[in-house]
Amino acid sequence: MMSAAQSQTTLVSKLQGLQCHFTWDLDTSRAKLLRFRERFEDFGTEDGHSWLGHIYNLRGFIEYKLGFTEEAQSFFNKATEAFCQIRNADEGPWLVVNYGNLAWLHHHLGDPAESEAYLTKVDALMNEYPSPSQDKLHPEICAEKAWTFMRFSTDKMSLALDYFLKAIEMQPDMVEWNTCHILGLMFASEHSSTAVGADILEKMRIAKEKDPENLYLAVHYLDQCAKKGERIEDEARELAREVLRNPVSRYGGIKPLLIVYRNYLSVDEAIDLAEEVLRNHPDERYLKGCAALCYRWKIFDNDSLPTQSLMDRAISLHEEMISLYPRSSLKKKIDLAHIYVKSTNGLAKAEQIYQELLERDLEPVDKQMLYYNYAQHLNFHGQDRNRSLGYHMQVAEIRQQSFFREKSIKVLFPLLPAFVWFPAIREAKHEGGGDLCFDH
């Protein structure tokens, strides 16, 4: 007869073999979890949303990692319900990841019997719905894993695209999988500083025809067409009317559409559109963030001098955003400091914001962002080159790769003879730059 210790070891071994959020090696630093928790609250949760089950699964995992087990179980249960509603079936392979999450949750809650029950459900589903390809995960598992990596772990984008491709090859009739894969290809091309190729643009066009209700895809396709030199003003305004009629969601298309307005129409029209959407949905915090972004564009547009009323509106929106997104307010406070610098007699207010932020206990990557921005502030607005370089050195000294560390090292690199003793600079020179970008 198996002892309690042996039984526990066997249970843990089975759990570790599951395909679910608990086994996918996701980055679970607390600062990131808190930011994403707020971000996913802005996802649309209207009935019929094709990714609703996946959203609830990921939100449940985030809640668990933050220590909120009741909320985690609630979201996992909502995921079960959403999958059944969307697939119009009580069970299917789309529940494998969800049941795996529940098995892990009950294990952590000290309920081995319930954990075993969900493991049994996973086994039953995998036996009843085997993968079409023996050497690959079931396409439903591939798709959820791909979606999770794409939304939560941008460093795993290439892996996400690979899983989406595997899912689509086995089950090509899933329109939303193809749409997400095409968008991922587009984002990957943009982030690699490589222009979106004609083949990806054609794939986007075909995906748009197959997924005509997806305004997020439609806006990005329009943006890519504009980058190729096409005139898209009329289509952009038509898309705006469609976006206005749709429920509000982070992936409803409004933010990329505002970017299209800014780039190819005007910042003023972007502001007008943002304010119109906000009037229709005055309590939607995501839309307030979109409006704040438009005002920030206007303020930092070198071709115009912002009026005091525009500055007041921008400051008001940013202050409101800081209160609405308390867990991810660092960047918003830095943005507010930048705005104050542009306002009359606002330099002291900007300095006050920075001093308050410098007293906070931040995670390394957030420290890098703060120190880099404060260094730039000191150099360009405080006329204090030495202190500015000191903060750039602090950024570089934090041994975590990030956009801001790269930027700070680029500032310090031309001064290499003076800083040859500084470890981060010396290592960067020795490594030939590694994955950092230097101006030689």
Kindly report, residue by residue over 56-80, the tens digit of the pLDDT.
Answer: 999 999 999 999 999 999 999 999 9
Contact 286, 296 (CB under 8 A): no
Residues in Cβ contact with 117 at an 8 Å cutoff, skipping those fewer than 6 apart: none
Measured CA to CA, the distance from residue 88 to residue 85 in angstroms comes to 5
Window from 68-77, 211-220, 400-409 with minimum mean pLDDT: 400-409
The percentage of the chain sitting over the pLDDT mark of 70, rounded to a whole number, equals 90
The CA-atom distances, in angstroms, between 334 and each of 38, 41, 88, 239, 298 are 18, 23, 46, 32, 17
Q: How many beta carbons lie within 10 A of that of residue 277, not counting itself?
A: 21
Contact 31, 365 (CB under 8 A): yes
The CA-atom distances, in angstroms, between 117 and each of 102, 110, 431 are 10, 14, 52
- How much is the pLDDT for 39? 86
Predicted confidence band at 439 (pLDDT cuts at 50, 70, 90)? Answer: very low
The CA-atom distances, in angstroms, between 84 and each of 91, 103, 118, 439 are 7, 18, 16, 54
Contact 43, 286 (CB under 8 A): no
Both tokens assigned to 96: 């494998």
Measured CA to CA, the distance from residue 167 to residue 165 in angstroms comes to 5
Residue of 134, 135, 133, 192 whose CA lies nearest to 161: 192
pLDDT mean over 293-303: 90
- How much is the pLDDT for 114? 96
Q: What does residue 346 show for φ and ψ, rounded to 5 degrees? A: -95, 0
pTM: 0.86
Q: Report pLDDT digits (tens) over 117-153.
A: 999 999 999 999 999 988 889 999 999 999 999 998 8
Predicted confidence band at 154 (pLDDT cuts at 50, 70, 90)? Answer: confident
| Residue-wise DSSP of 143-207 | HHHHHHHHHH-GGGHHHHHHHHHHHHHH-TT-HHHHHHHHHHHHHHHHHTT-PPPHHHHHHHHHH
Measured CA to CA, the distance from residue 62 to residue 82 in angstroms comes to 18
Measured CA to CA, the distance from residue 247 to residue 211 in angstroms comes to 17
Crossing angle of helices 157-170 and 175-191, rounded to 10°:
150
